[in-house]
Amino acid sequence: MKILTTKTLQRLLVTGALMLQINGCDDTVSVEQNTSVDSEVNVTVTPTVNPTALSLSVGATTLNKTDHANLTLMGSYADGSTKPLETQAQWIVLPTGSVEVYGTTFTALKDGNVTVQAKVGTTLSNKVHLDITWVVNGHTLPPEPDKALNDSTLLGIDTNNNGVRDDVERWIYDRYRESHPVMIPLKMQAARAYQKIIVDPSKAWETYHIMDDAQNCEWVFTSLSANYFGRKPLVLIEPEDAIKEDNEMEYIQYNTTQRARAYGNYNQTLSGGVFELEDPSEKWIKNCDFNTTKYIEMSEKL
């Protein structure tokens, strides 16, 4: 028996049973009815019985980022009874923040290998392992690389060997996932070019054409240069907006002192050079490093 005042019960007029956090666990508190606000009341505290075991199961273990799935958490007790405990559990998610649990459902927030476990009282459930991927426009993105490891070298981590650093690839697909579909392959070609030219900045005169190819390919689909080919641009990007996008991408691509210095050395090597502006030609399309057929067909229908 515990003697409490109703002030202790947050000045609530109590007319039945309620749950209080006492000594770190949920206890059922029975209070004598019809008590005044400042009077002492007789309170009977019945400690909650911890489950002897917890069984956690989920409706799906392979999900895409933002997917939802159901989960079930059943508690077993010494008397042989069982009951669902999803709303009473403390959830242990590793890496932290990878999923969000709400009642009997959870949402995948981050891609990667994720472990989910429940705790009720002092009892832990089994661990459930989730494989969460991030698929954009049918393309499965590489996992987020370890930042310290990724930034420790000039070229960083490229797990799928497509010539684009993993963090840059993820940024491109996220940045342009709601734009016209042509923007992603265009920016991926640009990222490959940005990567190649810093491998050996002293060879800038041998590699600058890689940047030209990427730029010309982009102009075919995003500028009035498309008129030369008898088509309309799929996305008309004004020159000032194109400059802003280029600056944004350079900031992402050259995000360490080592990378920024290499890019600076590349530009320094080309400093003072004379470059001839060429008119649009079929070569611009041929130098795109992705299949342009469907995008050309799209532009022909405009």
- Give mean pLDDT, residues 153-168: 98
- Give mean pLDDT, residues 58-69: 97
Cα 227 to Cα 295: distance, rounded to the nearest angstrom: 15
Cα 23 to Cα 26: distance, rounded to the nearest angstrom: 8
Reported as a pLDDT band with limits 50, 70 and 90, residue 47 is low
pLDDT value at 207 more than 80: yes
Domain 53-133 maps to which CATH number in 3.30.1490.20, 2.60.40.10, 2.40.30.30, 3.40.50.300? 2.60.40.10
pLDDT value at 196 more than 70: yes
Q: Comparing 3-7, 54-58, 225-229, which segment has the lowest mean pLDDT?
A: 3-7
Reported as a pLDDT band with limits 50, 70 and 90, residue 45 is low
pLDDT in tens, 6-43: 444 444 444 444 444 444 444 455 555 555 555 555 65
Task: Note the pLDDT of residue 273.
Answer: 81
Domain boundaries, the chain: 2-47, 53-133, 139-300
Reported as a pLDDT band with limits 50, 70 and 90, residue 272 is confident
Q: Comparing 14-18, 88-92, 202-206, 269-273, which segment has the lowest mean pLDDT?
A: 14-18
Task: Note the pLDDT of residue 40.
Answer: 59
Q: What is the mean pLDDT of the chain?
A: 88
Mapping DSSP onto H, E and C, the string for the chain reads CEEEECCCCCCCCCCCEEEEEECCEEEEEEECCCCCCCCEEEEEEEECCCCCEEEEEECCCEEECCCEEEEEEEEECCCCCEEECHHHCEEEEECCCCEEEECCEEEECCCEEEEEEEEECCEEECCEEEEEECEECCEECCCCCCHHHHCCCCCCCCCCCCCCCHHHHHHHHHHCCCCCCCHHHHHHHHHHHHHHHCCCHHHHHHHHHHHHHHHHHHHHHHCHHHHHHCCCCCCCCCHHHHHHHHHHHHHHHCCCHHHHHHHHHHHHHHCCCCCCCCCCCHHHHHCCCCCCHHHHHHHHCC
- Report CA 78 to chain centroid distance, whole Å: 42
Identify which has the larger pLDDT, 8 or 245: 245
Reported as a pLDDT band with limits 50, 70 and 90, residue 62 is very high
